[in-house]
Each structure stands twice: as C-alpha cells, then as structure tokens.
Amino acid sequence: MTDARTEFTSLAKELKRRVALSDESDWNMKENRQGTLEELKLEVESCRKCPLGLSRIKAVFGVGNPKAKVMFVGEGPGYSEDRKGEPFVGRAGQLLDKILESIGLSRQTVYIANTVKCHPMKNPATPDARSNDRPPDETEINACRPYLDQQIDLISPAFIVTLGSVATKAMLHNEEPISKVRGIWREYATASGRVVRLLPTFHPAALLRNPDLKKLVWMDMKNLRSELEKGA
C-alpha cells in the first residue's frame, strides 16, 4: 500500500514536471516566434540585396498582429511610408483602414506588409520629390521575396489578401489582369512549402482613382469575412 502510494506520488510529481516543462516550452516557442519576426525585421533594416536598400530612408517591414489570421500584402512603400517606416500611411492607407473596419478588422488585428520593403523611386537622386514612386521591378521583387516568405512562415496566417496587380502577379506568378483574378481564391506556397489561401483584390489607390471599384472590393471583403467566420 505504502509502495503504491509512493509510486503514485512520484508519478504525479513526474506528470507535474512534464506539464510545467511543456508549458514552458510552449511559452518559449511563442516568444521565439515573435523574437524571430523581430530578428527578421532587423535583417531587413540592414538589407542591401538590391539598389532600393541604398536609396531608402526607412525599410518598411510590416505592422500588425504577429499571429494574425489575415495578412494583407501591398506593392511597396511610397514617399510617406519611406519616411515613417510603416506600410500604408498615406491616403491609400486611410482607405485601407476603412476597408478593414467594414468587416470588423483593424491594423492591430491583421498583419500588413508589402511585396518589397523599400521605396522604389523613379529617380533615386531626388528622394524628396513627390510623384517619384514607381512599382518595384522583377529583380527587386525577387530579392525581397525571401523576406515576405519568412514573414508568412512566422505569422502563419490562414489567409492572404493581395492588394493590386503588382502584389498579385508577384505572388501568383501570372500575368492575368487584376480585374480577371480578383475575388477568386488561389493558393500561395512559400519557399519552405507552407501553403496559404490567397484572395486578390484591388489596391486601395485604384479605388481612389476609380470609386466604382469599391463595390467589387466590398464583395471581396464579404467573401473574406465569411471564410473567417467558417474558421472561427
């Protein structure tokens, strides 16, 4: 009887020890996950893999919830983002905030990043000129892709929404116009093999130029919200 009790006590102690250990390792994993995103940010901030790294003021890594269910991917930083080091802070960004709000999301609950992390300029010799933004080229997109892939691996979102044709083409490797592919779910595979469902939609800047596109983006956002609710 005493032996059985002793055995039981030592088993209980062992169980307690293992539970404590597993809690601790889970906790460490979560810490590492965030730490690694921070480390990746530092790496991006000192990146010189393409000429954009030489002309940027600030690298624009990304903002939001490091465990977000949805990741929004834009084209690349513009004039204001280059100065603030944060994506989508100009007029297009204000509209993106409203789009997120329309389906109960926010800058704090999703993660927002760009295809390239540094400001592509038409003329890097005049960084203070306005209207100097241009889309990133293929070499710049390819140089930055490992950073985007690692962000996706670390954040592990259930869904990616690409904003506009540059991000959509960069991630889907196709040449179809955004008007044909928007609203249709696709898949994106990172270099490490993680597969994430991807929904292309219009870039908020396109909505500023053509407000008629707003109803299509609204349809896409309702589509996203319904997929999020299925998983909730």
Q: Which residues bind ligand URA (CB under 6 A)?
A: 74-78, 81, 87-88, 92, 114
- State the nearest-atom distance from the C-beta of 164 to ligand URA, in Å: 6
Choose between 87 and 200: whose C-beta lies nearer to ligand URA: 87
- State the nearest-atom distance from the C-beta of 39 to ligand URA, in Å: 22
Choose between 33 and 124: whose C-beta lies nearer to ligand URA: 124
- State the nearest-atom distance from the C-beta of 101 to ligand URA, in Å: 18
The vertex-17 CA angle with 15 and 19, nearest 5°, equals 70
Question: Which residue has the closest beta carbon to ligand URA?
Answer: 74
- State the nearest-atom distance from the C-beta of 18 to ligand URA, in Å: 46
Choose between 88 and 202: whose C-beta lies nearer to ligand URA: 88
Q: Report whether 201 contacts 159 (CB < 8 A).
A: no
Q: How far apart are CA 140 and CA 48, in angstroms?
A: 11
Q: How far apart are CA 77 and CA 136, in angstroms?
A: 10
Q: Please report, for residues 66, 77, 104, 159, the alpha-carbon distance to residue 231 in angstroms, rounded to integers and kept in the order given.
A: 18, 32, 15, 11
Give the residue carrying structure tokens 């909505």.
Answer: 207
Give the residue carrying structure tokens 């999703």.
Answer: 110
Choose between 82 and 153: whose C-beta lies nearer to ligand URA: 82
